[in-house]
Structure formats: structure tokens, C-alpha cells
Amino acid sequence: MERVLFVCTGNRARSQMAEGLLRHLASDRYEVFSAGTEPKGLARTSVAVMAEIGIDISQQWSKSLDEFAGQSFDYVITVCDNAKEQCPVFPAKTQLLHWSVADPAAAEARGESVEEAFRAARDDLHKRIAEFIATAD
């Protein structure tokens, strides 16, 4: 079983949703984790928008990237630009991928609805994860 780690800054939204999505879609093929470079706690809005599509991430929690030091992963996927810059070095066999997903927590600053921004991030991640699963075959 391949191991996948999703990384963002706060481990509040994007990486948490990605963890839940990949686990829901392909838990038979992947062992899935998420972490943050500066964990801030799981956002309630992340839980709510995932529940809208029938995925329960309410039992997930915000984890520090430090908790995974020394572990090996087949894929490390950063889902925000800050995390990409701060992501530590992983062994050469680890495939590093970067998906630049808009930060839903910054929605109000962009003049957007917070809920709609979380849904947009969820849907973007869903599309990318479906493509990831299809191409990893």
C-alpha cells in the first residue's frame, strides 16, 4: 500500500480535505495522512463542506509535519505555495507533487463567501485527486 502525505501551512482546510477525499476514494490503495508546517486546528467549515458530499472528516485532527519526521512516503503533495517553500527534504524515492489550491480561509480578503471558497477548494482537490488516482494506476 502506498503512503501519501498532504501538506499545507495550517493543516486546517486544504490538506485535511485532501486526506479525507483520498481516503474516501481509494483507501484500499493508499495510506493517507495530512500535516501542516504550522498546524492551527481543523476548521469547522472544512468538516461542514466535506459532510455535504458524504465524507466525514470530523475525527481528523491538525498535525505537525514534525510528527512525520523519519517516516517514508511514496508521495508528498503540497497543496499551498507556503508549504511548498517550507517543506522539508524527503528521501529521493519520494515523489514530490505541488498543487496550488486557493486558500479558502483568505476568502473574505478576496471578497468571496467563506463557505463558497471552502467548497471551491474541496471541488478543486476532488478533481485533482481523481486525476491522481487515475494516473497512478
Q: Which residues are catalytic?
A: 8, 80, 87
Sheet with 30-36: strands ordered across:
30-36, 2-8, 75-78, 95-98
- DSSP-based three-state secondary structure for 34: strand
pLDDT, tens digit, 9 for 90 and up, residues 48-89: 999 999 999 999 999 998 899 888 899 999 998 665 566 555
Q: Which fold has domain 2-136?
A: Rossmann fold (3.40.50)
What pLDDT, on a 0 to 100 scale, did the predictor assign at position 80?
Answer: 81
pLDDT of residue 92: 62
- Helix segments in the chain, DSSP class H: 14-26, 44-51, 81-86, 114-136
pTM for the whole structure: 0.91
Q: Of all residues in the chain, what percent carry a pLDDT higher than 90?
A: 65
Report pLDDT for 94.
Answer: 80
Domain residues of the chain, as ranges? Answer: 2-136
Q: Which three cell numbers stand for residue 122?
A: 474541496
User: If phi over 0 gives left and psi between -120 and 50 gives alpha, with beta otherwise, what is residue 70?
Assistant: left
